[in-house]
Every structure is written in C-alpha cells, then in structure tokens.
Amino acid sequence: MAKKNAYSALGVPKDASNEDIKKAYIELVKKYDPEKHTDRFMIIQKAYEMLTDPRSRAREDVFSFDKAQGHFAFAEDEREIGAGEDLDAEYEAIRERQDELADNEELKKKLIRVLMKRSFVKVQARNWKEAIQDWKILLKVDPTNHRAKNNLTFALVQAGYQYAIHDLYEEAAKTWESSLLLNPDNPGVIHNLALALEQADQKDKAKKYWKEVLKFWKSDHEKDPDNVYLKERLVEAHRFLGEQAALLGSADGSKAAKQSFTDALSIDPDDFKAQYQYAVALINEKKFLDAASYLKDLSSKHPKNTEVLNLLGWAYINSNNHERGFQTWRRSLAIDPANHETKQNIINARMQLARSLRSRNQFTVALVHYKELQRLLPNSEEVQLEIAETFKMRGDKRSAEREYRRVIKMNPANKAAIKGLSEIRMGN
C-alpha cells in the first residue's frame, strides 16, 4: 500500500514523464557509484526498471497517492505583497460592518479583495491553514467565486497529500473528503481517499471509493483499449479488491472476491495472478472439484509452476482424490526438489488423513500414512507418538509398547509416551 515507493526512490513526482524519470536516474547513478553505494544503487536501479515498464508502473500507481493537480489562482491585483498587519486591520474593519454586507455590494467586493490578498500572502508563507480559512470565509460571502473555490480545493488536496505521506491517514481522509464537497468528480482525490481509508482500517468506506475509482479507470481504458498501462492499472485494482474481499473469510467475501477476479480476467483473460486467486477463492468456498478442474487447466498452461501444483494437490486431497494429490506434489518436487512448501504440504496432508482415518477406526490405512510420515520425518517424536497411539487404539499392545519405547528413547521426558506405556503395563 501507499509507502516509500519507486517515485520517492528516484525523487520524481507520480506524473513524471519517461524522460524525467530517465534524467533523474542518470543523475542518481552519477551521484551513487555502484561499487561504493551498492545497496542504494540497487534501489535506484529497481525503481528505474519499475517505472520504465508500463505494467509494473501501473501496479505501483494503484498503491501510490496522487499529488494535487493544478495551481493557485490569483488576479494580478491580488498578488500584491503588502503588510499582513494592514490586511488584517482592513478585514477587522469590514467585519465590524458585517450587517451591511448583504446590501452593500462595494463592501462585499472590498471584503473579497482583502481576503484574496491576505490568502496570497499566507500562501507565499506556506501558511495553508489560515489561507484555507480565508477562502472558506470568502465562499460564504460569494459562493460563486471561482478563484477562491479553486484555491480552497487545491489547498485541501495538497494538505491531504502531506498528511498521507506522513502516515496521518485519518486526517488525510477527512481533508480529502472536504475537497470532494467542492469538486466531487476528482478521480485523483477519490483514489487517494480509497488508499487512505484502507490504511486507516476503514475498509467499508474505502470500498465505496474504490468502486468510484474503478468507474474512472474503466472509462480511461475503454477510450484507449490498447494502452498497456491503463489495462494493467485496472486489472491490478480488481485483483487487489478481490484479495481484500477474500480476507473477510465469509461467504459474501468469497463471492465478492470471485467477482473481482472475474472482472480482472474479463480485461486480461491470461492474467495469471487473477486466475490463481480465483482458484484460491474456489477452495475457500470448499468447491474442491471445481478448483481441481480449474487448476488442472491452469497447470497445463504453466506446467513448471509449483505454486499451481501445490494448490492443485490440496484441491485433489480435499475432493477425496488422495493419490492424485500426492502424485501432483511429487511432480512439484521433480521440478523443484528443495520446494519447502510442497514438502510441508505432503507432511500436513499425511497427518491430516492419518488422524481422520484413525478417528473412523481405519487403523491399517492410517498407519500407511503414518509410516510415510516416519520416512519423511525419521526423528519426529510427534509422528512416532501418533504411531504408538494408533497401535494402542487398534488393540495391538505389543506394537504400541514398542513404539512408545522408541518415543521415550528419543525423549525420556515425553509425558504422553510415559503415560501410554504405563497404561499398557496396567492392562488399560
């Protein structure tokens, strides 16, 4: 999410052109010699590669705050830098005649002129808070004043950005929401709000703004469907929303997640991340047969992808096609013999199946899985104890005693093994 990113690494704004990015990169490479500043150079190089590739830049932009677009607007006679004290005195004098404002057009014009001049002085001094207050007062007097409205909107967006980059997300969100009252169709601000509210853990409010963001980005993509950047930006946003929905761990969340991944795939049918996450959503819904079928097709497109094979193995295991699941994981290990996740999946599945079978008094088949676990984990107290317990539950006291002794040999202080052995000796 919104954090120190590739733009800050190169010191360029989010709307920087490719030429600006290249120029900044060259300057930084000159400043940080790769041999003397290896870590810093690697950060710079990675940032440059990310921002010069439209796909990776689009993904970065989904999670980066947008700076305020535009500038302050003042008429020439409002740009006169006079003494702030004089302007304050003029303002106070007009305030004393506040009751006349409604009927005195000249007095109203004078107040507007004083407030615009004073706000200009405050802008020059970067006193945004007081400048914002002046524009708010002015707009109460003249709600149609375009320059005051423009300046207030621009200042609020800028202030929100400053809050956000200093991790003050709730303050940023409140400020940007105020700016939307003046300009409700600002896509950059709506995007910022979605990000800030995510960071402030206000997920429901964030979702509302993400929906608006998607409308703007979908419109951009439809106007220029061949633009790789616009396409990837929209796909990444759908993927992110799908992942967030999946985290809810509810039926509604899973449904929303699948819809987001489906939306992503409607834009880019070959997007691997969306395809994979869609399969995860099917498994979360316990639609294991559907997941197995979907992942089998995905694996045929990516035959060397062990991530897909690991998930496919679980789809088979949970749809009671156990041998197919273990075969799938063996395929994964043939591709990557050191794959820790695959090895752990085999261990977890063997243990899960063995315990389930034992609970249904299917001791012989359970022991097959335990013996496989023993082969994988020859020094595991836990596995050895599970074998002992299984023999005991089956009524094979001799074998159970032998296995308990093996556990105690591994760990003389193992209380469960000591208790089990004691019970056998006592005829329990």
User: Are the C-beta atoms of residues 404 and 396 closer than 8 Å to each other?
Assistant: no
CATH superfamily entry for domain 286-338: Tetratricopeptide repeat domain (1.25.40.10)
CA dist 85 to 81, 96, 116, 346, 375, Å? 12, 17, 15, 78, 86
Give the up-direction half-sphere exposure of residue 309: CA atoms within 13 A in the CB hemisphere. Answer: 23
Does the domain formed by 339-425 have CATH 1.10.10.10?
no
261 with 281: CB under 8 angstroms? yes
Q: Which residue has the tokens 């089956």?
A: 394
- Output the CA torsion sign for 17, 125, 153, 114: negative
Helix (H, G, I), strand (E, B) or coil at 91: helix
For the chain, the domains span 6-52, 286-338, 339-425
- For residue 416 the two structure tokens come to 């469960």
The pLDDT value recorded for residue 1 is 43
| pLDDT value at residue 2 | 43
pLDDT tens track of the chain, all 428 residues?
444 689 989 999 898 999 999 999 999 999 988 888 888 899 999 999 999 999 999 999 999 999 888 899 999 989 876 666 788 889 999 988 888 888 899 999 999 999 999 999 999 888 989 999 999 999 999 999 999 999 999 999 999 999 999 999 999 999 999 999 999 999 999 999 999 999 999 999 999 999 999 999 999 999 999 999 999 999 999 999 999 999 988 889 999 999 999 999 999 999 999 999 999 999 999 999 999 999 999 999 999 999 999 999 999 999 999 999 999 999 999 999 999 999 999 999 999 999 999 999 999 999 999 999 999 999 999 999 999 999 999 999 999 999 999 999 999 999 999 999 999 988 76
Provide the token pair at 131: 């400048």
How many Å is the maximal CA-CA distance in the chain?
108
Q: How many angstroms from the chain centroid is the CA of residue 174?
A: 21
**Nearest 5 degrees, angle CA 328-CA 331-CA 334?**
155
DSSP 260-271: HHHHHHHH-TT-
| Alpha-carbon separation of residue 188 from 71, 109, 157, 203, 314 (angstroms) | 15, 34, 9, 19, 42
Q: Are 261 and 282 in contact (CB under 8 A)?
A: no
3-state secondary structure of 300: helix
Q: Would you tell me which CATH number, out of the four given (1.10.287.110, 3.30.450.20, 3.30.910.10, 3.90.1150.10), belongs to the domain 6-52?
A: 1.10.287.110
Sequence-distant (≥ 6) Cβ neighbours of residue 380 within 8 angstroms = 373, 374
CA-based nearest residue to 369, from 309, 412, 311, 326: 326
Reading the block at residue 358, the tokens are 């034992």
CA distance 353 to 322: 9
**64-99 b/e (C-beta count within 10 Å ≥ 16 → b):** bbbebeeebebeeebeeeeeeeebeebbeebeeeee
Tell which residue, 63, 65, 69, 62, has the closest CA to residue 217.
62
In angstroms, how far is CA 352 from the centroid of its own chain? 32
How far is Cα 382 from Cα 364, in angstroms, rounded to an integer?
Answer: 19
φ/ψ of 211, rounded to 5, equals -60, -40
Answer yes or no: are the C-beta atoms of 100 and 107 closer than 8 Å.
yes
Instruction: List all residues 6 or more positions away from 416 whose beta carbon is below 8 Å from its beta carbon.
Output: 385, 407
d(CA 151, CA 207): 29
Contact 384, 400 (CB under 8 A): no
DSSP string, 94-150: HHTTGGGTTT-HHHHHHHHHHHHHHHHHHHHTT-HHHHHHHHHHHHHH-TT-HHHHH
Q: What is the DSSP letter of 214?
A: H
DSSP annotation of 69 reads P
Supply φ then ψ for residue 167, to 5 degrees.
65, 20
Fold match flag (286-338 vs 339-425): yes
